[in-house]
Amino acid sequence: MILTVGIGRGVESGIAASIRQNNPDFIMFLATNKSKETIRKVEEILGRKFRQEEYGIKIISREDDAEECYRIAKDAIKQLKNDYYITVDFTSGTKAMTGGVILAAVIEGVPNLVYITGQRDHRTGRVISGTERIYAIPSPLEILTDLEKRRITHMFNNYQFYDCLRAINDLKRNLPEEKLKEFSIKALETLVKAYYLWDLFRHKEAFNELVKLKSKEVENLVSDISQLNANKEFLGKLIHCEDWRDKLLLTDIICNAERRMQEGKHDDAVARLYRATEFIGQIALKQRGIDLETMNLQTLPIDEEEKRKYEKYVENGKMKLGLRGAYELLEDLGHPIGQRFHEDKALQDLLRKRNDSILAHGVTPVDETDAKKLYNRVMSFANAVFSEIESWIKRARFVRIR
C-alpha cells in the first residue's frame, strides 16, 4: 500500500483507518520531513510500532512541487508493483502530493485507488475521527482508456502501425469486455491492421481488411469517412484493374515516400523515390509498346547502330535495363521524357546522392532538403506519364483517426 502523509489535527485517524481496512503486507509512506511525525501518531492509534520489514518512507522535499511528488510516487510504484498488488491512498497531504500520486498511479496502471471520507467537522472541513470510511475506485479505467486512446491515435496518425497493434493487444489483455466495446476495439484493430499491411505494400491483404469495415463501425474512429472510402476505392482499383495497376502502384510508391519524409526518414523516402523514377521510365516504355519483362534487343524499333549500344544489357537472350538504361532507350525512341531526363542535371545529381546514401551504395545520409528536391522532380516526371496522378495521390493518402 502506498499512502501520502500530510500534517494537521486528525490526519493520522484517516490513515490508521485505511491501514486497518486494507491490512497491507507492506506500506510505503510518501511523507515530508514535517509529516514524518504523523506516522508516529498513526502507530499510536494502531497500538503498535511498524516493523522494519513492514514499511518504508520516501521523503518529498518540496510538498508543493507536483512534478517531484509525481516522480517520487512513480518510483515507489515501480519499486513495489512486481511484488505486491498495490493500493494507493491519496487522502492526506498537499494538493501537489495527492495530484502527483494519482497521476503516477493511473499512468503505471495501479489497480486500486482509495481515499477516506466520512462526516466532516463544519469548522475545519476535516473528517471527524471515528466516522471514517474508505471510498475505493476499483480501477481508473476511464482515465486509463482515455490515455490509451490518445496514445494509439497519435501512433496511428504518425504511421506507427506496428506499435499500434501492440498497444491494442495490451488493451485486450487488460480491459474488460464492456470497455473494449466502448473503445470499438474490433473495428480499430481491423483498421490499424489494414494500414499496417498497406504501408508494407501488401495491397491485397490490406484491401481485404478494409472491406470488412462498415461506415457505421468506424464513423466515430476516423476523421473523414469520405477519405476512408477513397482509400478503399484506390486499393480496389490498384488490385483489380489491370489497365490502372502500374500508374496506381507508382502513385502508392510516391505516397509511401511522402509518409517516410513526414517521419523524418529521408533515406527511406529517397529509396522509394529512386524506385518511382525507375518505374516512371518503365511506364513510359510500355506507352511505346515495350515491356522490360519481355523485351528483346532484336525487336526494338531503333536502327542497328543504336541497338549495338544495348548489347551490354543482354543476359541470356533478354535485355536487363536499369534506370539510366531505360531513359537512354526512351531518348532513342524519341519519347520526350527520355531527352528530359538526359538534360535534367539537377535530377542526375540527386540520384547520385541517393547512390551515395547509406541505404544504397555509400555511407552518406540524405538530408531533408535533398529529399524534398527529389520528391518535386519525381512528381514532375510522374505527371508526364500520368496526368491524373495528383488527384489519385489525394485518394491514396492515409485516413487519420481521432
Per residue in 145-186, pLDDT (tens digit) is: 777 888 999 999 999 999 999 999 988 887 778 778 877 899
Q: Is the pLDDT of residue 57 over 90?
A: yes
Q: Is the pLDDT of residue 42 over 90?
A: yes
Where are any strands of DSSP class E within 252-336?
314-315, 318-319
For 85-100, b/e burial (b = at least 16 CB within 10 A) is ebbbbbbbbbebbbbb
Give pLDDT, residue 136: 74
Per residue in 187-231, pLDDT (tens digit) is: 999 999 999 999 999 999 999 999 999 888 899 999 999 999 999
Residue type, 389: I
Give pLDDT, residue 30: 97
Residue % of the chain over a pLDDT of 70: 95
Give pLDDT, residue 45: 93
Average pLDDT over residues 344-357: 92
Phi, psi of 208 (to 5 degrees): -60, -30
Mean pLDDT score of the chain, rounded to an integer? 91
Give pLDDT, residue 129: 65
Give pLDDT, residue 94: 94
Kindly indicate the confidence band of residue 116, based on its pLDDT and cuts at 50, 70 and 90: confident
Among 177, 212, 174, CA closest to 192: 212
How far is C-alpha 338 from the geometric centre of its chain's CA atoms? Answer: 41
Average pLDDT over residues 60-73: 96
Give pLDDT, residue 196: 98
- Please enumerate in sequence order all residues whose Cβ is within 8 A of that of 282, keeping only pairs 6 or more positions apart, or say none: 246, 292, 326
Give pLDDT, residue 127: 58
- Bridge pairing between strands 112-117 and 87-89: parallel
Strand partners, 2: 28, 88
- How far apart are the C-alpha atoms of 200 and 231, rounded to whole Å? 15
Give pLDDT, residue 123: 63
Phi, psi of 254 (to 5 degrees): -65, -40
Contact 26, 80 (CB under 8 A): yes
Contact 40, 68 (CB under 8 A): no
- How far apart are the C-alpha atoms of 177 and 156, rounded to whole Å? 23
Among 117, 116, 167, CA closest to 144: 167
Q: Give the lowest-confidence range in 18-27, 357-366, 382-391.
A: 357-366
Among 289, 254, 283, 285, CA closest to 269: 254
Among 254, 194, 209, 267, CA closest to 396: 254
Strand partners, 314: 319
Phi-psi group of 207: left, alpha or beta (phi > 0 → left; psi -120 to 50 → alpha; rest → beta): alpha
**DSSP one-letter code for 401:** B
Query: What would the 3-class secondary structure string for 191-253 be?
Result: HHHHHHHHHCCCHHHHHHHHCCCCHHHHCCCECCHHHHHHHHHHHHHHHHCHHHHHHHHHHHH
Per residue in 232-245, pLDDT (tens digit) is: 999 999 999 999 99
- How far apart are the C-alpha atoms of 210 and 114, rounded to whole Å? 43
Per residue in 371-394, pLDDT (tens digit) is: 999 999 999 999 999 999 999 999
Give pLDDT, residue 181: 81
